[in-house]
Amino acid sequence: MKIEEMTAAHVDGVCALENACFVHPWSRQSVESELDNPQSVFYVAVENGAVIGYIGMSFVLDEGYVYNVAVGEAFRKKGVGSALLRSLVTYCQKHDFAFLTLEVRESNAAARSLYAHFGFVKVGERKDFYTEPTENAVLMTLYF
């Protein structure tokens, strides 16, 4: 597996993961628009030419906001999510970010554990943030 910056060649794979992993996936147009967005960074995990995971964030000045993290079901618990998150954290460190923040489903213990391992701390909640099913979001932030 290798981690690469997302290019047009990865869009189909990212869209496939969006559709497989999220109830309300991003449209192809939304994914493609991030390729030309100077205020965002997207990384993909690629194995044998296929996108098996991705992570993306937007940023304003020195503040990073994670959009989505997705790993194909067959590749979970194999270090893909960690490798993707490490790439984003490294980017933030190299660019002197103050923090990186995200929302995660309250019930997603695996993701919350991964983020905590990287030093993210719970900073709040958003009641009923998610739908299908309705669930609170836990806000987690990594301070640099």
Residues belonging to the active site: 103, 115
* Residue 84 in tokens: 């993707």
Q: What are the helix (H) ranges across 10-108?
A: 11-21, 28-33, 80-94
- DSSP code, position 24: S
The answer to whether 108 and 135 have CB atoms below 8 angstroms apart is no
Strands 40-47, 63-71: parallel, antiparallel or unpaired by DSSP?
unpaired
